[in-house]
A and B are shown apart, each in its own frame.
Chain A
Amino acid sequence: MHRTFIGITIALALVGCALNPGASDLVNDGRNTDNVLTYGMGYAQNRYSPLAQINKTNVKRLVPVWSLSMENDFGEQAQPMIQDGVMYVSDAKWTVAIDAVTGKRLWRTAVEFDPGTPRIVCCGVSNKGVALYHGKVIRTTIDAHVIALDQKNGQLLWKQKVADWTQGYSLTLAPLIANGVVVTGCSGAEFGARCFLDGWDPDTGAHLWRRYTVPGPGEKGHETWNPSESYLHGGASTWITGSYDPELDLMYWGTGNAAPYNPENRKGDNLYAASIIAVRPKTGEIVWHYQAVPNDIYDWDTVWEIILADIMVEGKVRKVAMQMNRNGFLYVLDRATGELLSAKAFTQVNWATHIDMKTGRPVESEVSKRLRAGERIQLYPSIRGGKNWMHAAFNPHTGLLYAATNEGYSNYKLIPVEPFKPGFRYQAVEATYSPVTPATVGGYIQAIDPMTAKPKWRTPLMGELPGSAVLVTGGGLLFTGKHSGEVIALDADSGEQLWQFRTTGGVNAQPVTWTRNGRQYVTILSGIGGTASQRRGMPDVPLGGAVWTFALTE
């Protein structure tokens, strides 16, 4: 008996060695520039790479070295992952493994989903990327499942149902693997979902825990929903991958808007909607929370990337979590405690006058009071947000955030709430957007000081809204993409555009940079989608997805 037990232990240990990446590979992601193993290029989601082979002086020699069609017209938003010369890419239809240097496809596995699923998706039939762990490619699906494929051949290893898509639930986010647990979220706050985080065993798919972001009866925070049953469709979706601090063993997840947008039937603060929550990956326990917008009425998702860094605050190095929120404020929190350190507006804001630093609550303006009284208002920022999901980057050496932000406003009015119907929109607002013409500043790419929220520089984006996440490199470059199809490189010190390349479709994705055999590459997906697919402003940008990889000419 004893002997058998030892035998099994040794066998498991051997299997553990063979299965990559492991937990320490993820913690150390970024040290080996050959690999990109985490969402955001590091658990801290800085989207910073020290690579400097491609730099300001030679970026003009950057050319595509290969492209691969994704055979998908729904749009491409994913961040590629790379391990040992193999790139793993996802969209709503496919999971694909590619030889990272040659661009040859190694395998592809279709995602099976009901063709009716897109009707319960608010913002594009999409997927933001895979996670790699223990020889598996783990991803979410539009019909609210999480699946694991064999990293070698794409064969399905396990599949778990997260929720019933017909009730308005979908998943588009890349899973987070933290402390050996696969953590996934939920989309559907526009369809009256009650969202959550789930923890899964990466090896078996066994469900370990669920933490509702809208507490039920008896749970802490439930008292912030009034009447009590409003929690059942309370929203607070978790559709962007959280960040993770392995030393504190805390994940940082943002939660989405409260549902429906019209708050008439959900009095109270509505925890944990529009909040940042610090969660233990092993248990799902909420260690602290910070609610950015109590009783949200504006779709003020607080889900955007939460960037972790150690920065000087009033002369002391603080472990912080930073977020450029949809609501127009840049939040800096102590990530150990949740203490609010700064919350300055980074764009024009008229729904709140400021954030009260004592209470941490926004002070609603006259405009918000008029909205709550039933008037139509002109809202800054627009309900697309001062920034949308397009992830910002942080360079620890400059101490600056680099982000693509939105300009413009919404005309906005609350309308009566219709009874909840499963699988139908549950919002109860009227919203229009300021027009975007070729002469309109649709947004800015800017370098921002976290504590003041002031731009060091900003470069206007003419005639379109920002499309893509930002990557900052040790070569002094920012990479991002445009809905009109260009991948661009800017001087990180001035914002001057140094290089561009027109890809086959619109670019609304996430650039990464990596090395193989000593050569630096930049990869980004092209393929207009997401909410951009609903925009009528760019009829000449074709649909159709492709992966693009660039390098300096030899």
Chain B
Amino acid sequence: MVANGVLITGISGAEFGIRGFLDGLDPETGKQLWRLYTIPAPGEKGSETWPAGDAYLRGGGSTWITGSYDPELDLVYWGVGNAGPWAPAGRPGDNLYTASVLAIKPKTGEIVWHRQLVPNEMFDLDATWEWILADIDVKGVKRKVTMHLSRGGFLYVIDRTNGELLAAEPFEKINWATHVDMKTGRPVESEISKKVRAGEQIELWPSQWGAKNWAHAAFNPETGLLYANTMHNSRYAQFEPVEYKVGQRYVGLKNLPAPRQPGLPIAHVDAIEPLTGKHKWRVPIMDIPHYSAVLATAGGLLFTGKETGEFIALDMDSGKTLWQFQTSSGINAQPITFTHKGRQYVAIQSGIGGVNVARMGEQLKNVPRGGSVWVFALMDQ
């Protein structure tokens, strides 16, 4: 992203034992202005949350989703990914700044505040998803917040000026934590989490796919609601020994399908109240989770796409599908709307890819590959 004249980029690779960072670059010349490691080096603030030795060098903390920016506060909000490897035995401690949100100054990369969602994270609970900025009423007071539908299933609402936790309610089925302690801001791990730490195999809700994956949510300031493609799925999880090898997967988790109850949705399209995590409506999805971002418009519509290729428009008030169009491949992308010469257009890319193709292999076998750009408008009258 470009914030206050600085080009900021992140990094992927926490499944391969990287040490994550953010970079600030001069957009005119490409010159590097700063680098902020998301895993502090020995002696730096936060390094005490890592064991002595070189675990921090492979500690993960990738930054693979673009941050948001508040120009008035001149703060960039950037989510940090899972710790590496997933198996936590070799990295006791909170492991800052994995599974955290950082508020940073774009000119310098300085961390102004941080909030870690999952200390000593062990389920690939990336905090990288979009951090949505809005000014909303909290107990009668208008607050500048940042909101996040987390992979672990809690909906975080945080004061974006100072990092104060305002709400963290579940929006999906969760069994790895009982709740988030609002005093400490830390999730309270359940018996299930204790069992898996002790080496047992557990059935984990939500699965490592997340209660929501990267497919970005939308927020409508008029309705005060978040709109998101969420997932309702469990997997079996058990840690296993893992050895670091350059360029190889560095995970240490057996991650196996759990039997699904017939008739149970695997995913939803949801309209969610930020402070309670409650659904205003839910549209159950029985077959293949959506992997597209949601766009909300003042026309009362939500636009999103399906892995089977349909680009769809939903009634924002009910979730009912009002329109759909079959594109040439699967959609796992991000709709936008724009105008040119007074006419409104909606655009999205089609082209199946990303992680869900492998997850849904058999069900998507008749969805062809091949990318294209699609642009829609109302017919001229």
Indicate if the CB atoms of B370 and A102 lie closer than 8 Å.
Answer: no
Which residues of B339-377 have CB atoms within 8 Å of chain A's CB atoms?
350-351, 366-372
Chain B interface SS verdict (over half): loop
Q: Which of B21-29, B122-130, B326-334 interfaces with chain A?
A: B326-334
CA distance A363 to B376 in the complex (A): 56
B370 nearest in chain A by CB position: A69
Indicate if the CB atoms of A65 and B366 lie closer than 8 Å.
Answer: no
Indicate if the CB atoms of B326 and A102 lie closer than 8 Å.
Answer: yes
Indicate if the CB atoms of A544 and B372 lie closer than 8 Å.
Answer: yes
Bitwise, A258-299 to B at CB < 8 A (1) or not (0) is 000000000000000000000000000000000000000000
**Chain B residues near A545 (CB, 8 Å)?**
370
Query: Does B141 reach chain A (CB closer than 8 Å)?
Result: no
CA distance A61 to B378 in the complex (A): 11
**Chain B residues near A108 (CB, 8 Å)?**
366, 368
Query: Does B380 reach chain A (CB closer than 8 Å)?
Result: yes
Query: Does A60 reach chain B (CB closer than 8 Å)?
Result: yes
Size bracket of the A interface: 20 to 34
Q: Kindly identify which residue among A63, A71, A553 contacts B368, using a CB–CB cutoff of 8 Å.
A: A71
Query: Does B244 reach chain A (CB closer than 8 Å)?
Result: no
Closest chain-A Cβ to B30's Cβ sits at a distance in Å of 27
**Chain B residues near A209 (CB, 8 Å)?**
none
Which residues of A187-237 have CB atoms within 8 Å of chain B's CB atoms?
none
Bitwise, A45-66 to B at CB < 8 A (1) or not (0) is 0000000000000001101111
Indicate if the CB atoms of A106 and B369 lie closer than 8 Å.
Answer: no
Indicate if the CB atoms of B326 and A70 lie closer than 8 Å.
Answer: no
Q: Kindly identify which residue among B325, B350, B369, B380 contacts A71, using a CB–CB cutoff of 8 Å.
A: B369
CA distance A61 to B379 in the complex (A): 7
Indicate if the CB atoms of B369 and A66 lie closer than 8 Å.
Answer: no
Indicate if the CB atoms of A69 and B326 lie closer than 8 Å.
Answer: no
CA distance A553 to B380 in the complex (A): 12
A527 nearest in chain B by CB position: B370
**Chain B residues near A71 (CB, 8 Å)?**
368-370
Closest chain-B Cβ to A97's Cβ sits at a distance in Å of 10
Q: Kindly identify which residue among A60, A61, A105 contacts B366, using a CB–CB cutoff of 8 Å.
A: A105
CA distance A66 to B324 in the complex (A): 10
Query: Does A135 reach chain B (CB closer than 8 Å)?
Result: no
Known: A69-B329, A553-B379. A104 touches B368 (CB 8 A): no
Which residues of B290-344 have CB atoms within 8 Å of chain A's CB atoms?
308-309, 325-329
Known: A63-B379, A546-B372. A107 touches B366 (CB 8 A): yes
Max chain B Cβ within 10 angstroms of own Cβ: one of A65, A68, A102: A68
Indicate if the CB atoms of A504 and B326 lie closer than 8 Å.
Answer: no
Query: Does A455 reach chain B (CB closer than 8 Å)?
Result: no
Closest chain-A Cβ to B17's Cβ sits at a distance in Å of 34
Bitwise, A61-89 to B at CB < 8 A (1) or not (0) is 10111111111000000000000000000
The 5 listed contacts between A and B (C-beta, < 8 Å) are A68-B309, A68-B326, A71-B370, A103-B326, A107-B366
Given A67-B326, A67-B328, 17 more contacts at CB 8 Å? A61-B379, A65-B326, A69-B329, A69-B370, A71-B368, A71-B369, A102-B326, A103-B326, A104-B308, A105-B367, A106-B366, A108-B366, A504-B328, A544-B371, A545-B370, A546-B370, A546-B372
Top-10 shortest CB links A-B:
A69-B370, A66-B326, A105-B366, A67-B328, A69-B368, A69-B328, A103-B326, A504-B372, A71-B368, A69-B329
